[in-house]
Every structure is written in structure tokens, then in C-alpha cells.
Amino acid sequence: MVSGGGTNLQAIFDKIESGYLSNCRIVTVVSSNEKAYALKRARKHNIPAICIPRKDYDSVIDYDKALTNHLKSYDVDLVVLAGFMSILGEEFITAFENKIINIHPSLIPSFCGKGYYGLKPHIAALEYGVKVTGATVHFVDKGTDTGPIILQKPVYVNQDDTPETLQKRVMEEAEWEILPKAIKLISENRVKIADRKVYID
């Protein structure tokens, strides 16, 4: 599920094509934004890509139902939020319990939660003056960015970083590596959750 440029989606396509993700298939791509370049990336790969915008639905419950029905029709094993910017409701999260993962551009629990998406975690990291930031892949629970953490990777902040340069490095050095890696580990059934902690075999 995507909302923007889809570079994380591209990273997954690349890792499927290189054979790194050998038992994974993307069956559908859903965008919350009809202008998302991610939709074009999906169509280039002949993957059914659809836009389901939040504004077309009166309530989160109706939106959740539309998303759930679409994904269930493809019988998905895993839902990957790869830069998906709409908030999902309880109905959706319950329908895919422990089967939704999200990539977030900071080291959770820093610079996460409501309002921290896209460039905003990087703006906040620079304002705070942290020397290290990074990315996190986590399971999605009913909170915002509060689910069990699967993988994290740190990235050093440079003194002359802008939010844009930092975002680019976090993507290149962390996100595009740990999101496909988490998918691989889950596809190999090596990820277990116990007492909100994630254990990898």
C-alpha cells in the first residue's frame, strides 16, 4: 500500500527480480492517492494497481471495509505499508492482525506517531539535533507507529544535512534494505512475536 513516489515499492520489485525475495509475489498495489508515481511503477510491472482514496468514503469504517474487501479478494498473506499516508482504522487492523508491516523513517520511538510522516520525522530529527537517525520496520497495531519492531537500521546525521538530504540517505542506506529484509524473514516464517517483542530465528 502506497501514497507517493513508491521508491520502497521499487526496492521490493528489485529484490524480487534479483532473486533475493524468492518466494514472494506482489499481487496488488493500493494507493490512497491517484497521482502517486507508485501506481505507475506497479503498472509497469503488470501488477493490478488501484487507487482507493479516503475522501471517497464517509467514515474510516467504510474506508477500512473497501480496503479489506480489495485485499481479501487477492487472498494476501502480508500487507506492506510502503509509504502509505492514510490512517487505518481498527476494522482493517483486526482483519489483518499481525499481517501488516510498515516502514517508518526514524528510529522508533523517536520522531514517530501522529503527524510524523514523509519529511516530518527528518525535520524533527534535525531540529532536535540528534546525531543518529534511521529507519524502522514494525508490525502495525491499533496505535500509530506503536507495533512490535522487526528491524531497525541507524544512519548518521551530517552537520550540513537538510531534511531532503537526510531523507534520501535514510531511504538509500536503511529503508530500501530493511523493508525487503523484513518481508524475506516473514516469508521464511522466521519472525515470531511474543509479549510485543519480535524474535528472529
User: Under the rule (CB under 6 A), what is the footprint of ligand GAR?
Assistant: 2, 4-8, 38, 82-83, 103-105, 117-118, 171, 175
The helix/strand/coil state of 55 is: helix
Name the closest residue to ligand GAR (Cβ): 83
Q: Is 115 exposed, middle or buried (0-12, 13-18, 19+ CB in 10 A)?
A: exposed
Residue 56 pairs in a beta bridge with none
106, three cell numbers = 526514524
Peptide bond into 109 cis (omega under 30): yes
Residue 161 or 175 with smaller CB distance to ligand GAR: 175
Residue 64 or 175 with smaller CB distance to ligand GAR: 175
Report the nearest approach of ligand GAR to the CB of residue 194 (Å). 25
Report the nearest approach of ligand GAR to the CB of residue 201 (Å). 26
The answer to whether residue 122 is catalytic is: no
Q: Which of 45, 70, 104, 138 is catalytic?
A: 104
Alpha carbon separation from 45 to 12, 39, 180, 187 (Å, rounded): 12, 10, 17, 21
Report the nearest approach of ligand GAR to the CB of residue 128 (Å). 17
Which active-site residues does the annotation give?
Answer: 104
